[in-house]
Amino acid sequence: PDAGRPEHDDRDRHDTPALLEALDGRRPRRTPVWFMRQAGRSLPEYRALRQRAGVSMLDACLTPALAALATVQPVHRHGVDAAVLFSDIVVPLRLAGVGVRIETGTGPVIDAPVRGRRDVAALASRHLGDDEAGALGAQAVGDAVTMAVDELGSPSSPPRPGAAGGRIWGGDQARDRSSTARRLAGARESRGEAGWTPLIGFGGAPFTLAAYLVEGRPSRDHLAARTLMHSDPAAWDALMTWCATTTAAFMSLQVRAGASAVQLFDSWAGSLSPEDYREHVLPYSALVLEIVSRAVSPTTGRPAPVIHFGTGTARILPDMRRAGAQAVGVDDRTGLAEAITALDHDGQGPCPVQGNIDPALLAAPWEVLGEAVDACLEAGRRAPGHVVNLGHGVPPSTDPDVLTRVVARVHGSPGWERAA
């Protein structure tokens, strides 16, 4: 496996962060790692921030300094290879004037669920940023991205810790964070890696958003959404087209403000048959990615590579790729090796993958988790690029030290060898 790569020296310095290398289908020196839901309740500093701010989840997403700080907290604590914007898939619904809130322990709740043709028509007349509150909200999301990128750095400017935090925390915390951030950047640079950390923007895929809009709240099998899909194809088309353009506007705005990569979350796509996915869902996810591909990130000077993630997606992975993604996120119900093989399909060749440590193992003894991390790295060597992540989000009860330890384990393993 050793391809005879020389020990690194100055000539071997990488200005491209490992995450972006992996998404481009290369094997960086070390395999990159980040965690879905890394910004959130598993971190005491996040809980303190939310408590201090005393605002609802969605209002927190629309408060730039707060959202930027929650975004960078896990980078400083764990040394992960990417930040993910602190926001939510339902934020663009709010910015388009839809009555929605997030209930702790439940998830998004819609005031007036979309039940038929007439509701869809009313929805379709709304656009992200149309009214004053929506326009201000869109501005706030862009500002949160800009502030987070200031903190995380870019190819042209080093990280500037304190860009967001100083406005929320007093001097001591800002100084602590400053030195943490400097240490992190220094350690990366001394290893010959890029001194900046890319920000991942995201959006919910049309089916997952439509499922919330129709059901009105999280549901297990999305019956009402699937009924509408089959019983009124015209209303379904209008609803899915609206979800696609709305979430695409939200993602594009993050890219234009400085996100270097994006993830499309189709969390509920696994509840569909492959036939239904292909016919009634995929074209709209493809529309999202087509629109997003036109946005250029000022951080990288190029469009954002896309990670397309869902759960229970073993049978639709090649379709998810075909929607226009550079990489596919694999959940923990699918074997990573099996997913890599499935994605190498129709002569398309293999593609970069992200995943897929079982979040349940975060609470297991370290020997068990450590072996799972190694197995994940091993399986990932068969792909042209591998981003280590969990198979789904970090459970709120997770001990954050365990996440830090997982990052260290991944970084301790060389990433550039690729299995034959």
Binding site for ligand CP3 (CB under 6 A): 36-41, 57, 84, 86-89, 102, 104-108, 202, 218, 265, 267, 393
- Give the shortest CB-225-to-ligand CP3 separation in angstroms: 14
Residue type, 359: P
Q: How far is CA 222 from CA 24, 227, 231, 332, in A?
A: 35, 9, 14, 21
Q: From the CA atom positions of the chain, what is the Rg in Å?
A: 21
Nearer to ligand CP3, 92 or 129 (CB): 92
Helices 400-411/366-380 angle, 10° precision: 40
- Rounded Cα–Cα distance for residues 298 and 300 (Å): 6
- Give the shortest CB-46-to-ligand CP3 separation in angstroms: 7
Give CA angle at 117 (113, 118), nearest 5°: 75
- Minimal CA–CA distance to 193: which of 77, 111, 88, 81? 81
- Give the shortest CB-406-to-ligand CP3 separation in angstroms: 15
Nearer to ligand CP3, 113 or 350 (CB): 113
Q: Is the peptide bond before 389 cis (omega within 30 degrees of 0)?
A: no
- Give the shortest CB-186-to-ligand CP3 separation in angstroms: 25
- Give the shortest CB-102-to-ligand CP3 separation in angstroms: 5
Nearer to ligand CP3, 60 or 339 (CB): 60
Nearer to ligand CP3, 20 or 269 (CB): 269
- Give the shortest CB-81-to-ligand CP3 separation in angstroms: 14
Nearer to ligand CP3, 100 or 128 (CB): 100
Q: How far is CA 383 from CA 239, 337, 418, in A?
A: 36, 9, 8
Provide CB contacts within 8 A for 392, sequence distance 6+: 36, 311, 331, 332, 359
Nearer to ligand CP3, 89 or 403 (CB): 89
- Rounded Cα–Cα distance for residues 358 and 369 (Å): 9
Nearer to ligand CP3, 209 or 229 (CB): 209
Nearer to ligand CP3, 218 or 350 (CB): 218
> What b-and-e string marks burial along 136-147, b requiring 16 or more CB atoms within 10 Å of the CB?
ebbbbbbbbbbb
Token pair listed for 286: 């493809």
- Give the shortest CB-107-to-ligand CP3 separation in angstroms: 3
- Give the shortest CB-86-to-ligand CP3 separation in angstroms: 5
Query: What DSSP state is assigned to residue 364?
Result: S
- Rounded Cα–Cα distance for residues 283 and 289 (Å): 10
